[in-house]
Structure 1
Amino acid sequence: MEPRVARFAPAACSRLVVKIGSALLVDGDGKVRRDWLAGVLDDLVERHRAGQGIVIVSSGAIALGARRLGLPKGGRASLEDAQAAAATGQIALSQVYAELLHERGLTAAQMLVTLDDLEDRRRFLNASATLERLLSLGVVPVLNENDSVATAEIRFGDNDRLAARVAQAAGAGGVLLLSDVDGLYTANPASDPNATFIETVEKLDARIEAMADARSASGLGSGGMVAKLQAAKIANAAGAHLAILSGKVDHPLARFAETGRGTVFVASGGARAKKAWLAGRLTAKGRLSIDAGAAKALRDGRSLLAAGVTAVAGRFERGDVIEVWTDDGAVARGLAAYSNDEAARLAGTRNDAQEVILGYAPRSAMIHRDHLVLL
């Protein structure tokens, strides 16, 4: 087995998250491809028997529900249609997983989560604790976004990024995204015959991100290569390797282990739990703009001081997650030490002037280095 593929084997990865997309799971008639799914679960059962904890993130509820309700555009014509389709299809989806895993001697557990569940620190820890207990019992958790209550503004919108966040919550060392594409190319291979396949990404930088195509090939799913690269960034920040591989074959996990066909995004090392949670967040309450001196201080591992802040935007309270921006975009994320009103009053001031402005002794920083992560 190739070293890049061996990172996802049970010996090197005690817990694995596998994401299954709608285009793979549901056929054109809106029915579950049971034989194909059975093959995937056979692969997972082998890994489970080898001691690897397995978590499944599965799309498909909206596509299944849309067929049962006769909704147009696969249930995605409106948010209301998607919510109704999800509520109808989720019960069918969970039943399929429960039946097929039971036939293989394993117990399935269903968890539905929203973006808020993994963005709020306390709820994230609750979800993490639930996953920990289920895995310790040998159960296979099957997760999906709770689309029946999610809103257009507060939702993941794709299960690629959800899988990466779930990997972080579960303490997984690897994420496999089964997709209708077999990995990352230098350009969209459907339109560019000169597109080159990329086997390994050691550093996910702007050059790699420029290769992404936002479209979903099937029209059934909601993700695309952009979402997959965002998922890779989230997973890698938490110390988890991520691979994109084709699910358009039987037994795709066994094929990946044998052939190595897929793109592997290598994690260089995991951040501490709170910092990994910060790095993986998709929302922030506000923004601090900073000057070049403050940006250098952050790169040197120091806290963000008020003197380097040039502007404050958004409404936030102490302890809320905010982003730090330079002229080049977001460079860091952290927990605010002040509300937006206080931060605006302190912006650009040195510590010796802050007590007069606040009326009380100032805190050590706008964002302390222990509560800050670089992006």
Structure 2
Amino acid sequence: MNAPQKPRTAVIKIGSSTLTDAEGKVDRAYLADLAHQVNRARKAGWNVIIVSSGSIPCGLESLGLPLKRPKDMPTVQAASSVGQRALIAAYDQVFSPYGMLTSLVLLTRRDTADRNAYLHARDTFKRLLELGAVPIVNENDTVSVEQIKFGDNDTLAALVACLADADRVVILSDIDGLYTANPQIDRTAKLIARVDRITPEIMEGATGAGSAVGSGGMITKLTSARVLAAAGIPLVICHGRAEDAVVRSLAENPIGTLFTAKERRHEITPRKLWIALGDSVKGRVVVDSGAACALSEHGSSLLTVGIRRVDGEFSANDVVDVLDESGYVIARGLVRYDAGMMREKDGVAIHRDEMIVFE
């Protein structure tokens, strides 16, 4: 008799524009259908973690405020404080009829910035899944400040996937996937079903947030895809309101756009995650072919001798992107020297322990 197959883990990210209706209120009917699909996915052998937006719209609705994201942080945090309670209650209401127990996990960067905190968070997710719960994860907007914010839930979903050692990440969005051009502008734009390598052209074609209620955009999704590829975790981007979107996104040939990933090479450390998923890149260094090969193929540190060009003004310990001669971003890391000294020093520019290499 064959041994039972080990459950796979999926991280499902739901954006605000998917979760809310035309008035900006949380769509209870959509949540009910989501619960039905998650139940089917669990029966098919998937553990499910949900990274959910929606606490701020929930809070604004409860407080009787205009259903548009506030511009001042105290109002955002107040709405989140009220909304977290309402959001988890809504999830619990639609999941409980299927015997699915939900849990609320609130995170900030500070909660996973060092290895001990990272390991505690990882163990919590593991135990919740072992106990059969469906974790509902959100950024803790109530206490977040700029220095510890994730900034968007695409980034948070990538972090959670690495924490939970997930087998797939699904971003349910208000778009069908990645297109050859912006479909709102270019009618000839075509959906790309599969991406094996995120090229500079793809990154340059990404646009910012297009929704009034969301905070992410295609660029954050592509950044998350690069990190997930390095961790060996495939990503699917699809329209969250497509029929059976969750179930179909977990199929062998999913809907939307599949960003593939090679076999996992190593665990991404908490420090490398912080470097990779931050949005504080201060500059760029272009390296020669030998240095690019040493980074990509051998996991080496970046030596100053391999740097051909330095772009931007940055200081020691700033985050910079590392590009090969074709302009493709192959890595991101913390530099040991400022931009001026980088051209003069002879030694390690970025240590391999403070650098993530992308696929």
Single out whichever of 176-185 and 147-156 deviates more from structure 2. Answer: 147-156
Query: Scaled by the length of structure 1, what TM-score is found?
Result: 0.79
**1:61 pairs with 2:55:** yes
**Which residue pairs with 2:200 in the alignment?**
206
| Separation (CA, whole Å) in 2 of partners of 1:258 and 1:51 | 13
**Deviation, structure 1 residue 250:** 4.6
**Which residue pairs with 1:37 in the alignment?**
31
**Which residue pairs with 1:219 in the alignment?**
212
Q: Secondary structure at the match of 1:332?
A: strand
**1:79 pairs with 2:73:** yes
Equivalent residue in structure 2 for 1:304, among 302, 305, 330: 302
**Deviation, structure 1 residue 334:** 4.8
Structure 2 CA distance for partners of 1:348 and 1:231, relative to 1, 3 Å = same
| Separation (CA, whole Å) in 2 of partners of 1:13 and 1:286 | 41
**Which residue pairs with 1:182 in the alignment?**
176
| Separation (CA, whole Å) in 1 of partners of 2:66 and 2:148 | 24
**Which residue pairs with 2:143 in the alignment?**
149
| Separation (CA, whole Å) in 2 of partners of 1:13 and 1:103 | 22
Structure 2 CA distance for partners of 1:335 and 1:259, relative to 1, 3 Å = closer
**Which residue pairs with 1:373 in the alignment?**
356
Unaligned runs of 5+ in 2: none
**Deviation, structure 1 residue 69:** 2.1
**1:167 pairs with 2:165:** no
Contact 1:288/1:313, CA 8 A, preserved across alignment: no
**1:26 pairs with 2:20:** yes
**Which residue pairs with 1:232 in the alignment?**
225
| Separation (CA, whole Å) in 2 of partners of 1:23 and 1:223 | 10
Contact 1:187/1:195, CA 8 A, preserved across alignment: yes
The one-character-per-residue Cα deviations of 1:225-274 (angstroms, maximum 9, x if unpaired) are 22222222222221111111112245322355498431111112323113
RMSD: 3.4
Structure 2 CA distance for partners of 1:119 and 1:233, relative to 1, 3 Å = farther
Q: Secondary structure at the match of 2:95?
A: helix
Query: Scaled by the length of structure 2, what TM-score is found?
Result: 0.82
Q: Secondary structure at the match of 2:205?
A: coil
Contact 1:308/1:347, CA 8 A, preserved across alignment: no
2:331 is matched by which residue type in structure 1? A
**Deviation, structure 1 residue 297:** 4.1
2:227 is matched by which residue type in structure 1? I
Contact 1:168/1:277, CA 8 A, preserved across alignment: no
Structure 2 CA distance for partners of 1:13 and 1:132, relative to 1, 3 Å = closer
Q: Secondary structure at the match of 1:184?
A: coil
| Higher Cα radius of gyration | 1
Tell me how many residue pairs correspond in the alignment.
344
Q: Secondary structure at the match of 2:106?
A: strand
The one-character-per-residue Cα deviations of 1:262-300 (angstroms, maximum 9, x if unpaired) are 111111232311358625432679879576465554345
Fraction of identical pairs, as percent = 37
| Separation (CA, whole Å) in 2 of partners of 1:29 and 1:308 | 54
**Which residue pairs with 1:314 in the alignment?**
315
